[in-house]
Amino acid sequence: MKDNKIQIYKTRTKILIGFFILILALVTARFFYLQIIQGNELKELRERNINTFEYIYPKRGRILSKDGIVLAEDRKVFSLAIDIEQKPSEQSINKLADLYPDKIKVENLRLKVSNSIKFRRPEIVIERLTQEDLAKYLVGGSDITGFSVIEGYEREYNSHPSIFHVLGHMGYINDSDVQYFSPRINEYNAKIWSKVGKSGIERVYEKRLQGQHGKRFFQRNARGDKKVITDISSFMEGEELSISINFQAQKLAYELMNERKGAVVVIDLQDFSIPVAISTPSISANDLRDISSSQYQDLLNDPTRPLFNRAFMGLYPPASTIKPLLTIFALNNEYTNWDETIFDDGFFRFEEEERIFNAWREGGHGLTDLEKALVESSNPFFMNLSIRYEKDLFVEFLKSSSFGSKLCEDCYPHQFSPLIDDDWKYKNFGKELYKGDFINLGVGQGYMLTTPLHLSLISGILANRGEYELPYLVTKKQNKLFINEDLTDEDWNKLHSSLVNVIYSQNGTGYRINAGELNLAGKSGTAQVVDINSREEYDEVRTNPLLRDHAIFIGYAPYDNPRYSIAVIVENGESGGRVAGPIAKEVLEELLNDI
Amino acid sequence: MTFNLRNSVIFLSLAIIILLGSLTIFSVTSIDVNSFLRFLLINIFVILFVLLLFNQINLNRIFSFGLILFLFNILLVLSVEIFGKEINGSKRWLDFGFLSLQPSEFMKITYALFVIQYLRFYGFKFSRFRSIFLLSVLFISALPIIYQPDLGTGLVYTILGLMFLFICGMHRFYFIAMGIFGILLSPLIYTFGLTSYQKGRIISWFSSDQTLSEKWNILQSEISIGSGGLFGEGFLNSKQNEFNFLPEADTDFIFSIYAEQFGFIGVFLILIFLGCFIVMTTFLTMTDKRLTSDLSPYYIGTYCTFVIGFSFLLNILMVSGMIPVVGLPLPFFTKGGSSLLCFSIMLGLIFTSRGFLK
């Protein structure tokens, strides 16, 4: 019995010794793994613990108008941010939420805190603290830890809505921004910039405006109460950009539109810069800064589409305003000359298909030659011409007039006027272009669509006798372009005098503009919004404002030595000469008085 | 005291562990040499004082106070609820001004003393009643510790108590039965028996979400250990400590700082010394020629040796991320009065029982 007890004791001690040695071996293996096999990795983690850096954000470059008005600049603001060096406690989170009940939701804040710690990014809790907010925090936030007031910059725009579409706006970076900037900016690091240009100049010139960020390297401890700066890398403030917009004229153009939908684009023919580009209605870029997502949705769903840049993106049938350009085409290919006449009785009969096209004036213009057709805008004359057009030559001519290609490198977003060729028609309608299509194309209807920017450029092409450059806002693209033409000076002079007569002859569709001493030349147009087959239908359509015709005017001034070309579109404005024309007149007057 | 080769190795191992412990605590808490010497002297003084005290007391006298000491200890644990100071949401400490004690630390000693007093009366014969009685006392006395709440100390106390009953020769049936029950009951205990803080600690050990602060502690601890590499960063060169990345660096996680400074070689050496001390002490106790019918000194000596050994290993398993973080002190390293006093008393019991000091 006694021996048995000793035996049990010995056995059990041996078992425990064995167990102890087993764990000892396990521990040794574990430390071998951590220190020898994983040693270097863990050491690197330790260095990352201690040595860290923060970005130094440069001030974003100012944007100035050509007449020296500051359109956008960075202003110093204070924001409340999460301090990643000291994790905010649950208590502090609740207290902060109590301090700003209308600005902070506890759940959102909690999410931000956990994201902030996860990605080691000092997430902003309240942007742009007001004086009152700041005072509240300094008085009531003394026992709140894990948050800090940080200094930063915020974009402040000229609040006039006319400038919004050209300038664009800033917003928080998302995946599509990264995709956009990665190929365009060398070594683009999306992690650095939380806000980037979303549209307009802000987007196109993101790289130049943002400048070069710097890094502040420092050693810190876990509590964040010790911070030793070890190195600062150089950084560069953003570049100041001067854009071609003439702010006075821009403002005037916007106000002249008087809340109607539409666009005005002016091109300076000396250098093809764009002094005026407005799209109405618009908003102030500052309003987008801290808009809620539902408010943003409302803006997107607004039927007047204030966020849509009609000037660079809107596609409108050019209607009669395309006639001068097609006159060049017709003369060049000898489809007609200045002497040919037809009898315009208000209809064009397309005999191959036995279709009848109505013209806008009841009874027609009577005996009409090319000049009269331009001045009084005779559709039957141009329809009669267009059935003679050869498809390939026509497409080549449109191509040389920048249909189907990008017009402006620094306009964003940008849409080009589609080039109507067989490919285009196949893609959209599954068949080739046929003769009947040209009847509509020849008077700027049917498939033909142009942007206001393009119309303004076309007007410039007319003024400049076929030679042109691509318009720009900041950076000029140095190459001259020519449309396909080989007209004599006499042809050009006759064309120009026709365009002058549009404005100054009593029969001219633009006579009502009363252009006076402006020396304006131009062409009006009225684009049908819906296809109309009879005049009765037309009267019915007119009662619905949204179905009324678009008023279009293109022109240039002064006609003897053209300086500016312009395109004005007033959606549902009905009459190009009476509605769009006067706007063009006043804007051009403002610009020319400025010189 | 007999000095032979074996005893010398045991003493040397122990002395080196104590010295390294003092060096490490010094490197964590202060760079002032005076405070290091003071700490080392206090360590040595406490250990020697306890050893000498035990030299004066007959072990049998101590055993005869087993029940009283145990009850007194339980009373102290309960009184913590009333007088104790709260740290990290848990009341464990009694503050005596110059010294704050954690009475639950001493339970593992007083329970063993109580068991010895009780079993000696019956000549160390385990009847079914006695086995169940001792087990019940163990589990019931663990409850106040667990509800402090201090799950770690409570669990370790229970496991060490079971180890003592194992050494004393309780029938293996009970251990097997408890093992099965333990596994079956663990979901219930987890659901109803634990506070959310304790659950959080367990969850953090299993989950991979690094934002949980417990997981962060473990990560920082592993970073410290790994940064040591083979040779270590050198004494007083723990960057994790300098930049405060390792929490509880002077208590539970002190071994990580040791590992960062002295590397795998330092760790390996200390494990060798620990192994020497534990294995040689228990082996020599077990093979003592004077084994008689009264095995109680051998039981208590072997028990205390293993308590030191397993406490050491459990702490290292914890800091190296092998087991969940439960607040376990590292013998002779962790800064803290109770831990030092407790392990000193154990040393006293070990050497008294072996008759080294006689």
pLDDT in tens, B203-250: 665 655 444 566 777 888 888 888 888 898 888 877 777 777 777 777
Q: Are A565 and A457 in contact (CB under 8 A)?
A: yes
Domains of chain A: which residue ranges? 2-37, 247-283+304-594
Shortest alpha-carbon distance between residue B96 and chain A (Å) = 31
The Cα–Cα gap between B63 and B3 comes to: 27
ipTM of the complex: 0.91
Shortest alpha-carbon distance between residue A229 and chain B (Å) = 14
Are A17 and B242 an interchain contact pair (Cβ–Cβ within 8 Å)?
no
Can the peptide bond before residue A122 be classed as cis, meaning omega within 30 degrees of 0? no
Most confident of A90-94, A208-212, B52-56: A208-212
Token pair of B221 as six digits: 């601890």
A241-242 and A227-232 beta bridge pairing: unpaired
Q: Binning pLDDT at 50, 70 and 90, where does residue B357 land? A: very low
The CA dihedral of A307, A308, A311, A313, to the nearest 10 degrees, is 150
Can the peptide bond before residue A558 be classed as cis, meaning omega within 30 degrees of 0? yes
Quick check: B227 contacting A, CB < 8 Å?
Answer: yes
Contacts of A45 in chain B (CB under 8 A): 219, 223, 226
End-to-end, the C-alpha distance of chain A in Å comes to 123
Shortest alpha-carbon distance between residue B316 and chain A (Å) = 7
CB pairs under 8 A between A and B: 143
Q: Binning pLDDT at 50, 70 and 90, where does residue B52 land? A: confident
In 3D space, the residue among B50, B286, B299, B310 whose CA is nearest the CA of residue B157 turns out to be B310
Q: What is the pLDDT of residue A511?
A: 92
Are B240 and A49 an interchain contact pair (Cβ–Cβ within 8 Å)?
yes
Report which secondary-structure segment, H or E, holds B175. Answer: helix B172-188
Quick check: B133 contacting A, CB < 8 Å?
Answer: no
Query: Ramachandran region of residue A268, left (φ > 0), alpha (ψ -120 to 50) or beta?
Result: beta
Of A9, A17, A46, the CB nearest to B298: A9
pLDDT digits (tens, 9 = 90+) for A61-83: 999 999 999 999 998 888 888 87
| 202-261 in chain A: CB under 8 A from chain B | 219-223, 226
Quick check: A49 contacting B, CB < 8 Å?
Answer: yes
Contacts of B163 in chain A (CB under 8 A): 16
Residue B309, judged by CB atoms within 10 A of its CB (0-12, 13-18, 19+), counts as buried
**Is pLDDT above 80 for A196?**
yes
Contacts of B243 in chain A (CB under 8 A): 49-50, 219-222, 226
Of B242, B306, B317, the CB nearest to A16: B306
Report which secondary-structure segment, H or E, holds A426. Answer: helix A422-429
Q: What is the pLDDT of residue B145?
A: 87
Architecture of domain A247-283+304-594: 3-Layer(aba) Sandwich (3.40)
Q: Are B92 and B102 in contact (CB under 8 A)?
A: yes
Of B166, B243, B317, the CB nearest to A50: B243
pLDDT digits (tens, 9 = 90+) for B65-115: 999 999 999 998 888 877 776 665 666 667 666 667 888 889 999 999 999
Mean pLDDT across A5-27? 93
User: What is the separation of C-alpha A469 from the centre of its chain, rounded to a whole number of angstroms?
Assistant: 21
Tokens 């050509």 found at: A66
Contacts of B274 in chain A (CB under 8 A): 24
